[in-house]
Amino acid sequence: MITEDKVISIVSAALEVDKNSININTKSSDILEWDSLGHLAILSKISEEIGDQYNESQELAASTSIKEILDCLNRCSNAFVKN
């Protein structure tokens, strides 16, 4: 299971913003750096930190909040374990 803290750490590192400025309710519209290039940086950091099995996830690519990313990663993790 991927934790909220892990996702917040990944997003803050990818966007180069203070970890304390992000929480579970943070959306892409809340952070100036979370534009299209920022989103690619987040996806790249997820691949680097957690694994590239998420690269094909359309849901992850469309996620626009910390909560959506966390939920998607955990759903995908469960699917990978079952297969």
Query: What does the pLDDT look like over 22-76, one tens digit per residue?
Result: 999 999 999 999 999 999 999 999 999 988 777 777 889 999 999 999 999 998 8
pTM of this structure: 0.88
Q: Which helix (H) or strand (E) holds 58?
A: helix 58-62
Split into its structural domains, the chain has a count of: 1
**Assign residue 39 a region: left if phi > 0, alpha if psi is -120 to 50, beta otherwise?**
alpha
- Name the residue with tokens 């940086």: 41
- Name the residue with tokens 């992850």: 60
Query: Number of C-alpha atoms within 13 angstroms, CB side, residue 54?
Result: 27
Domain housing 15? 4-80
Q: Which helix (H) or strand (E) holds 78?
A: helix 66-82
